[in-house]
Copies of this chain bind each other. A is one copy, B any other.
Amino acid sequence: MLEDRRLAVLRAIVEDYVSTREPVGSKALVDRHSLGVSPATVRNDMAALEEDGFIAQPHTSAGRVPTDKGYRLFVDKLASLRPLSTAEKRAISTFLEGAVDVDDVVQRSVRILAQLTRQVAIVQYPSLTRSTVRHVELVTLAPSRLLLVLITSSGRVEQRVIEPPVPVGDAFVADLRARLNTATLGRRLADAAQRISELAETFPLTDRPVVSVVVTALVEAFSDERSDERVAIGGTANLMRFGDDFDSSIRPVLEALEEHVVLLKLLGEATSPSALTVRIGHEVPYDELSTTSVVATGYGMEESLAALGVMGPTRMDYPGTMAAVRAVARYVSRTLNA
């Protein structure tokens, strides 16, 4: 009972602080929430919460502000995901359905996510590594110039221009193409790379040099992780709403946004599509971002798996943000799968 009320007080503090952006005092708290007790009682609870490190006061005799630990408890124990309105769901759904290819899906996702959460949104491009080979195409552009095209089940297309050491005939190319396809079709990329490396050895020695360059290029395309490293960003203008101190709060975020490696690390741990990862303040693995939180999750099916999320001030609307991130991830997964 006593514990219960303290948690209720913490919840109220978090909610008020998130919406007002100002330290919240005992009086204001009982006014705005029906806690059924007097301010004096609340003060006692606050003192206890502060003792335990869940809240803090910026200055003596100012209102209380949640600490990172306080937000953590709030997220873990107190927050129920606020379900999105059907209008919002519809918006996500129809907006994503308009996408014409994978890139477009990613770009639309980042927009809708930024719009829903009113934070900075980050979406990682789907990874190739878990997807499978849908088709390998080998085209003669010129006698000693081949075009290699790899199409994956995730809908991504990688291409390479290859210049074999000696000119090759059409028949040879056709044969090679057929063999490459039978060896790799439907396999996972890492698996397929293995297969074609073996495949090279079944060719007569005279053809080896040509086969070798093709295989090398293809293996490179398989393991090409550039698309893993790509991210789309949106909602930068929402940084304005931080309203916080310029230098200590916004600059690091803008700088992080330029460093895609950093963003990937922030999204990094969130690989599972089922779980939401929430990093609050100092839990974020960069000191400069210690006043920001990251809410992320994985999306996609096994064959094209990546992460998306948002970045914002620790003082953010966790229930709403978490719900939005989860919802967008689900719809994106569904869209990609269709």
Binary contact track A210-248/B, C-beta < 8 Å → 1, others 0: 000000000000000000000000111101100000110
Check: A141 CB closer than 8 A to any chain B CB.
yes
8 Å CB contact of A254 from B139, B147, B240: B240
Check: A325 CB closer than 8 A to any chain B CB.
no
Cβ-defined contact, A251 with B237, below 8 A: yes
For A246, the chain B residues whose CB sits under 8 A away are 240, 246
Q: How many copies does the complex hold?
A: 2
Count of chain A residues near B, Cβ 8 A: 27
State A139–B157 Cα separation when bound (angstroms): 12
Cβ-defined contact, B134 with A141, below 8 A: yes
Check: A151 CB closer than 8 A to any chain B CB.
yes
For A157, the chain B residues whose CB sits under 8 A away are 149, 157, 159
Q: Decide: A240 near B251, CB < 8 A? Known: A157-B159, A159-B151.
A: yes
What are 22 A-B contacts defined by CB distance under 8 Å? A101-B159, A135-B147, A137-B147, A139-B149, A139-B151, A141-B151, A147-B151, A149-B149, A149-B159, A151-B159, A235-B258, A236-B236, A236-B254, A236-B257, A237-B254, A237-B255, A237-B257, A237-B258, A240-B247, A240-B251, A240-B254, A246-B246
Given contacts A237-B254, A240-B246, A240-B254, 8 further A-B contacts (CB under 8 A): A134-B141, A139-B149, A141-B151, A149-B149, A157-B157, A237-B251, A237-B255, A240-B250
